[in-house]
Amino acid sequence: MFKKLFLAVLLALSLAVLPAAAAGPVKIQINGARLATDVDPVIIDGRTLVPVRAIAEGFGAEVGWDGASRQVTVKKSGNTVILTIDNTNYTKNGQTLKMDVPAQIVSDRTMVPVRVVSESLDAQVDWNGETRTVIINKQEEDNGLTPEQVLEKSLTATAGLDGTRFKGTIEANTGVGDPVRIAIEGAAKAGATRLKMSGNPPEGPITMEMWTNGKVFLVNDGGGWVENESFSFVLLDDVHDMIGDQYPAAVMKRIKEMGGIISFTANSAESCGVRATIDADKLLAETPPEESGFPDLKRKLVCDLTIRKADFVIQKFELTGEYIVEDVKTGYTGSVDLYDFNQVDSVPKP
């Protein structure tokens, strides 16, 4: 389906946005996978503080910031935690409690005590001193299903569709100038995908069409359709082998191998959200710092899915990828809506 093409586009963006060259850190592990953070956690007075957005991201929680009151709010599954910068008092669901070390600003990031936030969101926290790792375990269910089970059901349901259309945007930040915004639109059916991309980067407007069936990758940038062997190679080696009867299980296996932290996010009567936050160590293994020339390289990849409860079909997915080197952040975001399920006649080869 279209995921083959979208992953290839994301790979190209990933290569394009990598920035120019430039005691072990404390690590955070949630349900066995390492959480990516844009700045390393710190230990202050014996307590570990982490970037609030990173820990909230790993839990699938909402995070808010009030600059006037210098308060940060974290919400998840009916729990609301409010912490004030440089204040050891905090509240959980309206009850005032006390912590040893307050939330504080470190390297322009809002850092919060990982144990306070985690336990306030009903997670269990442990510490491995030998590996300097905070170990967090959190179990959750929605209507008797875990996030992993909902994700697997959604992949099965979506893979079983007889075609769909999709529309969305990709925004790439190269660290130089304004972000480049690209609109995408297309259709997928029977293993084939056709996509149109258009945008207005600094070098001038672009329009490009692509078509693939997982074996052949064709591109038309205005001069006619030609085969792009580099994309075909990527698709064949990294994506196409996952397509077929084993597709849902293969995707779950890949997320597990990469160390995906699977969690629930927004929930409503009609849909639920599932987030996969990929293990930071596994991401870096794909781009080894010693080989890339960026010894301080940090990476993040997060995928958010909106899943229809009635039939577990994926209605929307959003991706966020980041590269951080010496506080220089580059990356991309993508948001794609799926619609017209089972209403695509065909996606013929050009």
Residue 336 has pLDDT above 80, yes or no: yes
Give mean pLDDT, residues 61-80: 94
- What gap in Å lies between CA 138 and CA 122, rounded to an integer? 7
92 residue type, one letter: K
Pairing of strands 328-339, 164-173: antiparallel
Mean pLDDT of 244-263: 61
Least confident of 60-69, 163-172, 292-301: 292-301
CA 295, 328, 32 angle in degrees (round to 5)?
Answer: 60
| The pairing of beta strand 27-30 with beta strand 42-44 | unpaired
Among the ranges 213-217, 265-269, 276-280, which has the highest mean pLDDT value?
Answer: 265-269
Token pair, residue 259, equals 């160390």
**DSSP letter (8 states) at residue 175:** S
Average pLDDT, the chain: 81
Q: What are phi and psi of 190, to 5 degrees?
A: 55, 40
Euclidean distance between CA atoms 9 and 208, whole angstroms? 12
Residue 10 has pLDDT above 60, yes or no: no
- pLDDT over 60 (residue 340): yes
More confident residue, 235 or 332: 332
Q: What's residue 29's pLDDT?
A: 93
pLDDT for 285: 73
- Give strand pairing partners of 137: 124
Determine the average pLDDT of the residues in 281-303. 71
Mean pLDDT of 136-163: 89
pLDDT value at 79 more than 90: yes
**pLDDT over 80 (residue 52):** yes
Which of 27-36, 111-120, 291-300 is predicted least confidently? 291-300
Q: Which of 63-72, 270-279, 295-304 has the highest mean pLDDT?
A: 63-72
What confidence score (pLDDT) does residue 98 get?
Answer: 96
Mean of the pLDDT values across residues 181-193?
A: 87
DSSP 196-237: EEEE--TT--EEEEEEE-SS-EEEESSS-EEE-HHHHHHIII
**Rounded CA gap, 173 and 37, in Å?**
18
Three-state SS at 56: helix
Number of H helices, E strands in the chain: 8, 24
Q: Which pLDDT score, from 0 to 100, does residue 252 have?
A: 55
Q: Give the CA count within 13 Å in the CB-facing half-sphere of 72.
A: 23
Residue with tokens 């009151």: 69
Question: CA-to-CA distance for 93 and 146, rounded, in angstroms?
Answer: 24
**What angle is formed at CA 187 by the lines to CA 181 and CA 189, rounded to 5 degrees?**
145
CATH code for residues 32-137:
3.30.457.10
Give yes or no for a contact between 167 and 61, defined as CB atoms under 8 angstroms apart. Answer: no
Question: For the residues 68-97, what does the mean pLDDT come to?
Answer: 95
88-105 pLDDT, tens per residue?
A: 999 999 999 999 999 999
- In this structure, are residues 187 and 344 in contact, taking their beta carbons and an 8 Å threshold? yes
Amino acid letter for position 138: K
Lowest average pLDDT, out of 141-155, 156-170, 250-264, goes to 250-264
Instruction: Return the pLDDT at 291.
Output: 66
pLDDT score, position 74:
96
Confidence of residue 239 (pLDDT cuts 50, 70, 90): very low
Q: Which residue has the higher pLDDT, 242 or 93?
A: 93
Q: With bands split at pLDDT 50, 70 and 90, how would you rate the model's confidence at 230?
A: low
pTM: 0.80
pLDDT at position 73: 96
Fold for 2-20+143-339, please state it: outer membrane lipoprotein receptor (LolB), chain A (2.50.20)
pLDDT at 330: 82
Where are the chain's structural domains?
A: 2-20+143-339, 32-137
Q: What is the dihedral of CA 110, 116, 118, 120, to 10 degrees?
A: -120
If pLDDT is split at 50, 70 and 90, which confidence band does 322 have? confident
Interatomic CA distance for residues 203 and 137, integer angstroms:
48
How many Cβ atoms are within 10 Å of 201's Cβ, its own excluded? 15
What span, in angstroms and rounded, lies between the C-alpha atoms of 248 and 160? 10
Using alpha carbons, select from 154, 159, 164, 155 the residue that is nearest to residue 188: 164
Q: Categorize the per-residue pLDDT at 250 as very low, low, confident or very high, splitting at 50, 70 and 90.
A: low
Cα distance between residue 269 and residue 142, in whole Å: 11
| Residue 301: predicted pLDDT | 81
Would you say residue 7 has pLDDT above 70? no
CB atoms within 10 A of CB 43: 12
**Mean pLDDT of the region 17-36:** 72
Identify which of 100, 106, 63 has the alpha carbon closest to the alpha carbon of residue 82.
63
**What tokens appear for 112 in the block?**
């919060």
What is the pLDDT at residue 273? 93
